[in-house]
């Protein structure tokens, strides 16, 4: 097995002005950075070139593609908009495929209401599956997000530290396992 650190970027999946999901994404980056042997970065989809006159791999951005290719797992932070995840998040995820295959994914849901993005997450699961990602069974649900972070992004509810820890334990396990498989187990073995 290689000694490369696990690479787990965090995708901030909304472009909306004033998005509280940015606080959740930065919090998750901070939690991942505490772990030995794991590196991370924030990928803000609002910073990516996102043409809307084409779709799918026709809009593949080389930088985003490379980041996905070199990732071992993804943390996808999604708000819930009208009971689902943002269309632009799917637009950008649809631009890659080979980059995702047999890699772990964990979803962080964010909502202004009490449900913490659970409907967005449920909608997201078939997409994750078709992209070839392997979703873990832990989520982090930031419900009533205006009470979880203050305006500066300071965490107001320390319970989320333990919740994120459980989520990341599972994600790291799955990322290690899938990397071992990608490295060593041939499809026709």
Residues lying near other proteins in the complex (CB under 8 A): 2, 4, 7, 56, 69-70, 72, 97-99, 101-102, 132, 181-188
Residue closer to other proteins (CB basis): 92 or 108: 92
Question: Looking up tokens 């996905």, which residue turns up?
Answer: 68
Nearest to 63, CA basis, from 25, 101, 99: 99
We find the least distance from the C-beta atom of residue 50 to other proteins, in angstroms, to be 20
- Tokens for 158, please give them: 């320390």
Nearest to 24, CA basis, from 64, 78, 71: 78
We find the least distance from the C-beta atom of residue 53 to other proteins, in angstroms, to be 16
We find the least distance from the C-beta atom of residue 122 to other proteins, in angstroms, to be 24
We find the least distance from the C-beta atom of residue 167 to other proteins, in angstroms, to be 23
Residue closer to other proteins (CB basis): 56 or 87: 56
> b/e map of 10-31 (b: 16 or more CB within 10 Å)?
bbbbbbeeebbbbbbbbbbbeb
Residue closer to other proteins (CB basis): 40 or 111: 40
């Amino acid at each position: 097995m290689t000694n490369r650190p696990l690479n787990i970027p965090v995708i901030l999946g909304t472009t909306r002005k004033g998005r509280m999901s940015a606080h959740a994404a930065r919090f998750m980056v901070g939690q991942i950075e505490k772990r030995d042997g794991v590196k991370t970065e924030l990928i803000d989809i609002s910073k990516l070139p996102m043409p809307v006159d084409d779709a799918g791999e026709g809009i593949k951005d080389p930088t985003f593609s490379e980041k996905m290719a070199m990732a071992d797992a993804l943390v996808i932070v999604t708000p819930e908009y009208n009971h689902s995840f943002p269309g632009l998040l799917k637009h950008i995820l649809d631009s890659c495929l080979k980059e995702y295959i047999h890699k772990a994914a964990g979803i962080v849901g964010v909502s202004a209401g009490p449900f913490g993005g659970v409907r967005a997450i449920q909608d997201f699961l078939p997409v994750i599956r078709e992209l070839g990602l392997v979703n873990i069974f832990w989520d982090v649900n930031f419900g009533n997000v205006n009470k979880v972070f203050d305006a500066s992004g300071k965490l107001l509810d320390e319970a989320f530290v333990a919740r994120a820890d459980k989520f990341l334990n599972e994600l790291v396990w799955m990322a290690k396992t899938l990397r071992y498989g990608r490295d060593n187990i041939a499809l026709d073995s």
